[in-house]
Amino acid sequence: MGSSFVLRSPPFAPLERPTRVLVTGAAGQIGSYFAQQSHARYQLTLMVLGNEKPESIEWLKPLGRVVTADLSDLDRLKQICRGGGAGIDVVLHLAGNASAEAKWADLLRTNIMGTYNIFAAALVAGCRRVVYASSIHAVSGYPEDIQVKTGEPANPGDMYGVSKVFGEGLARYMAQQEGISAICLRIGAFQPPANAKTAMGIGLLDTFVSDRDLNQLIEKSIDDLSLQFAIFHGISDNRFKRFDISDARELLGYSPRDDVTQMHPDLIPLHLRDAVMKHNFAAGGMASGMRDELDDEG
């Protein structure tokens, strides 16, 4: 099984100023939440489509420099990444067609060609990293009773997932052959915590990622100095996880706070974190005969 991450040698040097981050798709759900929560941490350039209604992006202006561009315009993307002499350090690439039912022509234009253009522009401009919004759809073709690890082969469950697999492959090529670092986040069912408390929450039991947990994972991906390439699963600390997050914990220090089973009103009374048998001594699930031997003063 191949490794899902590659370390940098040497690591990036820490910046002595706020990291300059370009956010594509800044008017979307994830991008707008990131801008609201993280604008004081980074120097943000917020990219939106040229056809966005002015009232839908006016509120972004206090959070960073707002720019307009289309993913098909490579020259414009290069210009934005260069930043007028104050170049972008990290591109957070969230823009694209996020529909699991998207048609190939739309996926080709946005998720294939658009993703290529973003990576090419970032490379030419000398950016240090692209954080790429992939999706759990890149591996949703695995049977439902398998917990998917990041090191296992891609297995998309739909054409949208296929487009995200392309982005992951491009990211690895760019990181290992062209020298620009790339971190791919396979984003789960992104929802505000309030939605996890509704009828929808049961269906999100094993894939839910809260807005604050995903934002933490994004920030840690931007701030990391040690990785040249990595794929991480972006879900919360749900008691039942369809996708493994252990490498995000170990490599990034990801510490998600939310769990559907502790949020949904029908699941909270079940106390599933405590009620499900642990089957091991270390978790307090049973006594230890070995411990009895060590405690014997004979």
pLDDT tens per residue, range 155-184: 999 999 999 999 999 999 999 999 999 999
Residues 66/57, Cβ–Cβ less than 8 Å: yes
Write phi, then psi, for 78 (nearest 5 degrees): -60, -45
Residue-level length of the chain: 298
In Å, how far from its chain's centre is CA 146? 21
Q: How many CB atoms lie within 10 A of CB 97?
A: 17
Please report, as a single letter, which amino acid is at residue 195: N
Residue 92 confidence (pLDDT): 98
Q: Is residue 281 part of a domain?
A: no
* Domain annotation covers residue 120: yes
Output the domain CATH number for residue 232. Answer: 3.40.50.720
293 is a domain residue? no
In a domain, 187, yes or no: yes
| DSSP strand pairing (181-187 vs 227-234) | parallel
Q: Which domain holds residue 104?
A: 5-269
Residue with token string 């997932």 = 161
Name all contacts of 54-58 with Cβ < 8 Å and 24+ positions apart: 56/27, 57/26, 57/27
Please report where in the chains the tokens 């947990």 appear, as a residue. 213
The reply to whether 280 falls in a domain is no
- The token pair at 209 is 């990622």
C-alpha 202/C-alpha 157 separation (Å) is 21
Do residues 207 and 239 make contact, with C-beta atoms less than 8 angstroms apart? no
CA distance 71 to 84: 19
More confident residue, 15 or 297: 15
Query: How many other C-beta atoms are found inside a 10 Å radius of the C-beta of residue 148?
Result: 22
Question: What average pLDDT is seen over the chain?
Answer: 92
Pair of tokens at residue 223: 């701030």
Query: Do residues 25 and 67 lie in contact, with contact meaning Cβ atoms separated by under 8 Å?
Result: no
Cβ–Cβ < 8 Å for 229, 182: yes
The total domain count for the chain is 1
Per-residue pLDDT, 30: 97
For residue 292, being part of any structural domain is answered with no
For residue 121, being part of any structural domain is answered with yes
In a domain, 145, yes or no: yes
Nearest Cα neighbor of 94 from 215, 220, 212, 256 is 215
Residue 187 C-alpha from the chain's centroid: 5
pLDDT tens digit sequence for 195-234: 888 888 888 889 999 999 999 999 999 999 999 999 999 9
The two tokens of residue 166 are 């392309």
pLDDT tens for residues 23-75?
999 999 999 999 999 999 999 999 998 777 777 788 999 999 999 999 999 99
